Amino acid sequence: MGILQVKDVSLKLGDKKVLENLSIDFWEGHIHAVVGPNGAGKSSLAYAMMGLPEYRNHEGDIVIEGSSIKSLPVDERARLGMSLAWQEPARYEGLKVDTFLKAGSRGSSRTTDEALDMVGLEPEVYKYRAVDKTLSGGERKRIELASILMMQPRIFLMDEPDSGIDMSALQKIFEVISMLKKQNTTVILITHSLEVLRHAEHAFLMCHGKLIDKGTADKIIYYFENNCLPCDHQNQPLEEEIS
Amino acid sequence: MSTNNFLQEIIESLPASHRNVMDKDTAHLVIHHNEVLGAHLVPGLDVQAEPIEDGVNIKIRVDKGTVIEKPVHMCFGMVPEEGLQKIIINAVIEEDAAIEVLAHCTFPNAIDITHLMDATIHLERNARYSYFERHIHGMKGGVKVVPKAKVYVDEYARFKTEFELIKGLVGDIDIFYEGFVKREGVMDMMARIYGRENDRIKINETCHLEGESSRGVLTSHIACRDRTNASVYNTLTATAPFARGHVDCKEIVQENARAKAVPIVEVAHPQAHVTHEAALGSVDSKQLQTLMSRGLTEDEATELIIQGLLN
Ligand SMILES: Nc1ncnc2c1ncn2[C@@H]1O[C@H](COP(=O)(O)OP(=O)(O)OP(=O)(O)O)[C@@H](O)[C@H]1O
Ligand SMILES: [Mg+2]
Interface contact flag, A92 B296, Cβ < 8 Å: no
Interface contact flag, B289 A53, Cβ < 8 Å: yes
> Of B193, B154, B213, B230, whose CA–CA distance to B306 is shortest?
B193
Calculate mean pLDDT across residues A204-217.
Answer: 93
What confidence score (pLDDT) does residue A234 get?
Answer: 45
Question: Which residues have any ligand 1 atom within 6 Å of their CB?
Answer: A 13-14, 16, 18, 36, 38-44, 87
Domain-located, residue B302: no
To the nearest whole number, what is the mean pLDDT of chain A? Answer: 91
Number of domains in chain B: 1
Long-range (24+ apart) CB contacts under 8 A made by B38-47 are B38/B7, B42/B68, B42/B70, B42/B72, B44/B68, B44/B97, B45/B72, B45/B99
B1 pLDDT more than 80 = no
Nearest-CA residue for atom 26 of ligand 1: A38
A236 pLDDT more than 50 = no
Pocket residue to mutate for ligand 1, from A20, A43, A193, most atoms within 8 A of Cβ: A43
Calculate mean pLDDT across residues A79-93.
Answer: 95
Amino acid at A71: S
Query: Alpha-carbon distance B230 to B228, whole Å?
Result: 6
Q: Which ipTM was obtained for this model?
A: 0.93
What confidence score (pLDDT) does residue B4 get?
Answer: 66
Interface contact flag, A147 B296, Cβ < 8 Å: no
The more confidently predicted of residues A192 and A186 is A186
Pairing label, strands A16-26, A4-13: antiparallel
What confidence score (pLDDT) does residue B64 get?
Answer: 98
Domain-located, residue B153: yes
Bridge partner list, A22: A9
Domain-located, residue B295: no
pTM of the model: 0.87
State in Å: Cα A10 to ligand 1 middle: 14
| B309, B223 contact by CB (below 8 A) | yes
What confidence score (pLDDT) does residue A243 get?
Answer: 44
The ligand 1 atom nearest the CA atom of A87 = 27
A224 pLDDT more than 90 = no
As annotated, the residues of chain A forming the CATH 3.40.50.300 domain(s) are: 4-81+155-242
To the nearest whole number, what is the mean pLDDT of chain B? Answer: 94
A33 pLDDT more than 60 = yes
Ion ligand 2 — residues with CB < 5 Å: A 43, 87
For domain A4-81+155-242, which CATH number applies: 3.40.50.300, 3.90.950.10, 3.40.50.720, 3.30.950.10?
3.40.50.300
A232 pLDDT more than 70 = no
| DSSP secondary structure letter of residue B17 | G
User: Which residue segment(s) compose the domain that B9 sits in?
Assistant: 3-284
